[in-house]
Structure 1
């Protein structure tokens, strides 16, 4: 909440300063700060929603709220970046005289505000994609403000006004680089793709070597969120096991998957002489 209010103040100040000074880089920084405010509100809301308990209607609760927030935030980073690239090229072709003193003061204000916000989220930045997305927004904006400050100094003392456009372009490229990775990671989770650290073939080979296991097939592995990785599969057994015998094997499977692959939710369907598709991956 504190970082939200800080960034609202910075955004308003930079918009006023950018309009008065005529600095595109300051306005682009303000636009980026505005996306920070939106992303922080989304992240804050998602964090609250993710803690809601599951119900009969929402059996998973809202555990994916933070992944959705990360996806939205990453998308806004990329969209804003392309808007900035367009305007930076336009301004480079038609450079304008800029009130650099105001640019310097506003960029210092933004550095202090965003720097404090970064410190507030520093400890929890690796907690999940949601916090990471908020942190990346704030950190990139702080670095952008440093670039704007440098540009302001160059414009004030050396009258190099084209640097305003170059800095805006550089900020945009950096936003694309940061946003793309976060976009890709959150997209993979939302699409139920197999986590990169999980090798399905390796898992199947190891479980197929368990006593009485004939063949593991019809496997799905996905992330519900960053804390929960699920696996479901069907296993053919070489004899008609008692339920108690199956439970012993299941415990070994769960231990292997949890300790070696960080898979903490396992659903196995036991089968004996069932006539079905025995392929490793089956399109449902």
Structure 2
């Protein structure tokens, strides 16, 4: 599923942008929201898991591969919710001697597990649905109709509960439930049509559409996870804006050896060498560094390590990059 369950945490006592740091343990109000978010995710997990298991039984009972494929979809959501819930707790761990940047990236393990399960399940569903297209079997349309109505009600209730949440995590998970609601609306329409028209092929076609949607989401999820692991520049950060931020300070000639990466898709890190036009004393240099870091936070850089060099004494193997 979408890798929409990453957990940003402040392990370096920096003040994050409010929208990006929703685990501020220095604020009682934020601590309350953090606890509330965990409760909402926990409730959503149990609702989703119970309903997914019910769907599996219902899918076999109604002989509907569309319901079975939606059961797979919901089980995938449950895996994501479960790992989100787990890493909501795990992210409270501060950095230590083993993981000096903290535990945010552990959430990627959950993303990979979820993706593998969903890929295997989706391929199985596509195979079954493809065979059904050539040998259609009429499902129990009344049973499908009942499950579709229950599916819309259950997923709709979970979506509304999470939509009222104040964290990014809750809002992202609410989008998963919106997707589930739309899937059940499709099953509802299909079951109504099959009640009046002899068209059993609608069931496997619905199933194939759901499976393809799952695989597209998995692809996006995996692509994002690989970019994080391979330390690509985060989507939320513009390298050009970072370079411009440095050049906005008249004391700086340019930068080189610039590296930008992200821990978990939200907590972004930068290291660079900044070349000074003229040497500065210790106190003005510290003031300049503080101003630079404050400016970088405005463009989604939460942790910056800056090494200053004087013009003419820059690293020999690096060319100055003023743009």
Specify the TM-score bucket, using the shorter chain as the normaliser.
0.7 to 0.9
Q: Which residue of 2 aligns with 1:220?
A: 259
Question: Greater CA deviation, 187-196 or 75-84?
Answer: 75-84
Gaps in structure 2 of 5+ consecutive residues:
1-41
2:205 equivalent among 145, 149, 166: 166
Find the counterpart in structure 2 of residue 108 from structure 1: 149
> CA, structure 1 residues 103+209, in 2 after alignment: closer, same or farther (shift >3 Å)?
closer
* Length-normalised TM-score, structure 2: 0.75
Q: CA deviation at 1:7?
A: 2.1
3-state SS of the aligned residue for 1:176? helix
CA shift digits 1:79-108 (9 cap, x unpaired): 544433332222111101222211211222
Change (3 A) 1:50 1:280: farther
What are the superposed Cα offsets for residues 204-260 of structure 1, whole Å, 9 maximum, x if unpaired?
25524633423311001122235422211012334443222211221232232223x
Once residues 238 and 68 of structure 2 are traced to their aligned partners in structure 1, the CA distance between those partners, rounded to angstroms, is: 46
Q: Distance in 2 between matches of 1:125 and 1:23?
A: 37
**What's the CA shift for 1:183?**
3.6
1:59 and 2:97 are equivalent in the alignment: no
Residue 199 to residue 8, structure 1, CA distance change in 2 (3 Å): closer
Name the stretch that deviates more: 203-212 or 97-106.
Answer: 203-212
* Aligned match of 2:230: 191
TM-score (norm 1): 0.84
Question: Which of structures 1 and 2 has the larger relative contact order (alpha carbons within 8 angstroms, sep 6+)?
Answer: 2
> Does the 8 A contact of 1:68 with 1:186 survive in 2?
no
Contact 1:4–1:37, Cα closer than 8 Å, also in 2: yes
Inter-partner Cα distance in structure 1 for 2:129 and 2:144: 16
Paired residues in the alignment total 278
How many Å separate the matches in 1 of 2:205 and 2:101? 47
Question: Hey, what's the Cα distance between the residues in 1 that align with 2:220 and 2:269?
Answer: 23
2:25 is matched with which residue? none
User: In structure 1, what is the equivalent of residue 85 of structure 2?
Assistant: 44
Question: Is residue 260–residue 270 contact of structure 2 (8 Å, CA) maintained in 1?
Answer: yes
Aligned ranges 1:1-284 → 2 under 5 Å:
1-70=42-111, 72-73=113-114, 76-77=117-118, 79-124=120-165, 127-128=168-169, 132=172, 134-208=173-247, 210-259=249-298, 261-272=299-310, 273-279=313-319
Going from structure 1 to structure 2, the CA distance change for 1:115 and 1:280 (only over 3 Å counts) comes to: farther
Structure 1 residue ranges, 4+ long, deviating more than 6 angstroms after superposition = none
Do the aligned partners of residues 142 and 83 (structure 1) sit closer, same or farther apart at CA in structure 2, a change above 3 Å counting? Answer: farther
Q: Relative to structure 1, is the Cα distance of residues 2 and 209 closer, same or farther in structure 2, using a 3 angstrom cutoff? A: closer
Q: Is the 8 A contact 2:133 2:201 kept in 1?
A: yes
What CA distance in whole angstroms lies between the structure 1 residues aligned with 2:214 and 2:200?
A: 23
Helix, strand or coil: the match of 1:268?
Answer: strand
Q: Deviations over 1:110-139 (max 9, x none)?
A: 2222222222222348714x862x444433
Query: Does the CA-based 8 Å contact 2:69-2:122 persist in structure 1?
Result: no
Q: Which has the higher helix share?
A: 1
RMSD: 2.7
Deviates most, 237-246 or 142-151: 237-246
- Give the SS at the match of 1:103: helix
Counterpart CA distance in 2 for 1:180 and 1:121 is 25
Task: Give me the whole-angstrom Cα distance separating, in 2, the residues matched to 1:176 and 1:142.
Answer: 18
